[in-house]
Amino acid sequence: MALAFSKDDLTSEQLHILDRVLLDVHKKDKTNPLVLYVGGAGGTGKTVVINCIVDQVGIAHVIVCGSTAMAGRNINGNTIHSILKLNPFSEAQDDIPLPPHPHLLLLIIDEISITSLAK
């Protein structure tokens, strides 16, 4: 289970990330969605930011996944493969639609830096 964090627990850099995401979530024009990469060494608070974002936006509006089972578990999510119904051993997937999620506002992928684009 994730630890509860509030905005008061965030550093100024983490708070800037949270505010940027919340600004995008609440904007009316959704034709140009935010693509944001948050990087940093282990222990720098990326998971804390993810948990605060989910708390602020609401779990009903967020899909959280990780590139590995451990990354998924660390953020109380699943793997990219399970969310998108991908077979990691198949090369036959070209167009991959997100699963139906009528209230989706955010897709968060933890540990994206170790994810390959190769088929």
CATH topology of domain 7-114: Rossmann fold (3.40.50)
Category of 86 on φ-ψ map: left (φ > 0), alpha (ψ -120 to 50) or beta: beta
pLDDT digit string (tens) for 109-119?
A: 776 655 655 55
pLDDT digit string (tens) for 86-111?
A: 666 666 655 566 666 778 788 887 76
Counting as low any pLDDT under 50, the low residues of the chain are 1-2
**Selection from 64, 59, 61 nearest residue 79 by Cα:** 64
